[in-house]
Amino acid sequence: MERDRFYITTPIYYPDNRLHIGHTYTTVAADALARYHRLRGRDTYYLTGTDEHGQKIEQAARDKGVSPQEFVDEMAAWIQDLWAELGISWDGFIRTTDPRHTKVVQHVFARLYEQDDIYSAPYAGWYCTPCESFFPEGRVEGGNCPDCNREISWVEEDAYFLRLSKYADAMLQHIEDNPEFIQPVSRRNEMVRFLESGLEDMCVTRRRDALQWGIPVPFDPNYVIYVWFDAVTNYISAIGFGEEDSDFDLWWPADVHLIGKEILRFHCLIWPIMLMALGVPLPGQIFGHGWLTLAGQKISKSRGNSVDPRILVGKYGRDAVRYYLLREIPFGADGKYTERSLVERTNVDLANDLGNLLSRVTAMINRYCDGVIPAPGEMMEVDTNLTVVAADAVAEAARALERNLISDSLEGLWKLVNAANKYIDETAPWSDEADDERRGTILYNMSEVLRILAIALRPYLVDAPSEMWRQLGLEASVSFDGTCWDDLGWGGAPSGVAIDRGDPLFPRLDADEVLQDNGKKQERKEETKPMIDFDTFSEMDLRVARVIEAERIEGADRLLRVMVNVGHGKTLQVVAGIAEHYDPDDIKGQQVVVVANLQPAKLFGVESQGMILAAEDGDDLSLLGVEAVLPPGSKVK
Ligand code: MSP
């Protein structure tokens, strides 16, 4: 029997820093699915929240000079504001510092300890703070995290372990028996391979002297509970696990845990094993989507390539940002983010295809039908074909959404948008050949397509659909908020209602203008820096240098690896962010200015031992030079 409830979750976000467009991606996707299931009339619970414990939050608060609790309070409020701005329709927002949650985590920990699924033993291995992950000795080479490639620390302490190994076979069996449990299939295969290579027990505590900011182990004050053990438990604590008279049985098991692909293991192995050990049913599905990338790299706070969703929403509106995220990237795969492609999607799909359709139809209804939706007359073949396309598009969107394939569902709906544009051109209601009845039929059919689209687009867009409804004058007879998926059958548009043509749904953007404007804004933001004294300035060793060789760095569109001669027989390797402006061959032999005493740092796996100076103006960039030809190593002062 079809379940009439739907429980969907996003990961709970680390509030150590402002969230970026990558986090927005997960959240908007889950929101679209939640909105779709509500539209289908299913009772829906959409849970999101914040993952507030652990070392990186403790560090971030320390850096800011506030207590961890003050820090996370402010960040959680900021995150809620961000989601509200994007129109996210969450039903629950769980914070792991909520006493309701900490109680459940302690209860689960104690219970697993009592039944010997948690035991104490010494731990020796690596810990990556940005990932909050443990790694056994053999998996780490060269002191960097195997997942995020950042510096990692060695940890040796007595600890508590979760007996994952005991459940490895049962876990594998569950994955095999339930093909939908991990999706897409590539992720499922990845997890099967991982399980088959052997599952070791996992450390689930940190010693209190190494980390204070966590949930205490209830029976041992020397320890706090590992942040991932704490975090995954949110999916049941938020709905009242272990509480009397709670809604737990109503919602659990979750239908979908939507997550990014880098946190698969926690969700597809550790979390289900915790549930198995507790005797609680496993979630229906874990869907691991891909990453939003910039210049070939995952967008992330620590890589310094993050994109602020608020700036995008301010510039383009939330519907454009939501649509872009949901449509541009085949759901499940990685996808490149560029602001230019966002502008193009907005112009082509939203302004031209959809917005123009509404605008043309309402203009013609005003002109030919006194501003009132006409009654349809006799249907010709071209008209009935359109009704078939509409039914097919809606069915295709539903099929895809039932499988969480959001971009495919939009592709399905755009078949109707495109067919409708073609239909107007072919039937040409403006031509002299069309009489009033024919015009009435065509414009009725077009109103009907727009009515259907307004409803079918509700999962993805939050403002445009109701505006379409309003302009079509439908609100007078049918409340938009009351519409549902069942209203998508042909023929629901009431004839005789007065339309109210308004502004374009999505004004066309001038790409060059908006993208250039972006550069200027950034520049203004960075205008002032605090004063420094002369001694600070003279600590910088600036030198004239000559480029010996340069080449592109694979996977990093903006970077060149440049070897420069800095005089006195010395050569430095510098990673420079100039690849979009200079070809490697063009700068060979060029005289440049470098900072020669900068601490080395690794960028995309390549060590950079200095910095080449350049001036920037919006999208333009120019290397700094000196007027005369001087020997490499000449001091710049
Ligand atoms: N706190 C953990 C999750 C605990 S859930 C029990 C965490 N938080 S996170 O803030 O780092 O990431 C949250 C989500 O954002 C993850 O699903 C992650 O994949 C997603 N994204 C972060 N950067 C991303 C991209 N560049 N692209 C797509 N999604 C990305 O992990």
Return the beta strands (E) in 577-619 as ranges. Answer: 591-595, 601-603, 606-608, 611-612, 614-617
Ligand 1 centroid to 18 CA: how many Å? 13
CATH fold of 534-623, please? OB fold (Dihydrolipoamide Acetyltransferase, E2P) (2.40.50)
If you count them, how many residues does the chain have? 637
Identify the residue whose tokens are 């399980």. 195
What confidence score (pLDDT) does residue 542 get?
95
DSSP 230-263: HHHTHHHHTTTTT-TT-SHHHHPSPSEEEEEGGG
Ligand 1 atom with least separation from CA of 234: 6
Identify the residue whose tokens are 């969907």. 8
Ligand 1 atom with least separation from CA of 266: 6
Q: What is the Cα–Cα distance from 559 to 611, expressed in whole angstroms?
A: 12
User: Is 38 a pocket residue for ligand 1 (Cβ < 6 Å)?
Assistant: no
Of the pLDDT bands very low, low, confident and very high (cuts 50, 70, 90), residue 554 is confident
Ligand 1 centroid to 139 CA: how many Å? 22
Give the number of other CB atoms < 10 A from CB of residue 245: 6
Rg (alpha carbons) of the chain, rounded to whole number: 29
What confidence score (pLDDT) does residue 518 get?
65
Ligand 1 centroid to 297 CA: how many Å? 15
User: Is 299 a pocket residue for ligand 1 (Cβ < 6 Å)?
Assistant: yes
Q: Is 603 helix (H, G, I), strand (E, B) or coil?
A: strand
User: Is 325 a pocket residue for ligand 1 (Cβ < 6 Å)?
Assistant: no
- State the Cα torsion 299-302-303-305 to the nearest 10°: 50
User: Is 485 a pocket residue for ligand 1 (Cβ < 6 Å)?
Assistant: no
Q: What are phi and psi of 429, to 5 degrees?
A: -60, -15
The residue type at 510: D
CATH fold of 339-488, please? Isoleucyl-tRNA Synthetase; Domain 1 (1.10.730)
Ligand 1 centroid to 21 CA: how many Å? 11
Cis amide bond preceding 253, omega within 30: yes
- Average confidence (pLDDT) over 518-538: 65
What confidence score (pLDDT) does residue 1 get?
45
- Read off the DSSP letter of residue 481: G
Return the beta strands (E) in 107-231 as ranges. Answer: 118-128, 133-135, 153-162, 182-183, 202-203, 205-207, 216-217, 220-225
Is residue 524 predicted with pLDDT exceeding 50? no
User: Is 232 a pocket residue for ligand 1 (Cβ < 6 Å)?
Assistant: yes
Nearest CA to ligand 1 atom 29: 22
User: Is 231 a pocket residue for ligand 1 (Cβ < 6 Å)?
Assistant: yes
User: Is 195 a pocket residue for ligand 1 (Cβ < 6 Å)?
Assistant: no
Contact between residue 31 and residue 321 where contact means Cβ atoms under 8 Å apart? no
Of the pLDDT bands very low, low, confident and very high (cuts 50, 70, 90), residue 617 is low
Q: Among 107, 133, 101, 267, which Cα is nearest to 203's?
A: 133
Q: How many separate helices (H) and strands (E) can be counted in the chain?
A: 22, 25
- What is the domain partition of the chain in residue ranges? 339-488, 534-623
User: Is 300 a pocket residue for ligand 1 (Cβ < 6 Å)?
Assistant: yes
Ligand 1 centroid to 237 CA: how many Å? 20
Give the model confidence (pLDDT) of 482-505 as tens digits: 999 999 999 999 999 999 999 999
Q: Among 423, 433, 435, which Cα is nearest to 374's?
A: 435
User: Is 596 a pocket residue for ligand 1 (Cβ < 6 Å)?
Assistant: no
Ligand 1 centroid to 438 CA: how many Å? 54
Nearest CA to ligand 1 atom 19: 260
DSSP 145-156: -TTT--B-EEEE
- Measure CA 81 to chain center: 16
Is residue 519 predicted with pLDDT exceeding 70? no
Is residue 315 predicted with pLDDT exceeding 80? yes
The residue type at 349: D
Give the percent of the chain with pLDDT over 90.
77
Ligand 1 centroid to 11 CA: how many Å? 7
Ligand 1 atom with least separation from CA of 11: 5
Give the model confidence (pLDDT) of 120-141 as tens digits: 999 998 888 888 888 888 778 7
What confidence score (pLDDT) does residue 129 get?
85
Q: Among 393, 370, 502, 346, which Cα is nearest to 440's?
A: 370
Ligand 1 atom with least separation from CA of 23: 15
Q: What is the Cα–Cα distance from 280 to 258, expressed in whole angstroms?
A: 20
Q: Is 472 helix (H, G, I), strand (E, B) or coil?
A: coil
What confidence score (pLDDT) does residue 520 get?
55
What confidence score (pLDDT) does residue 618 get?
61
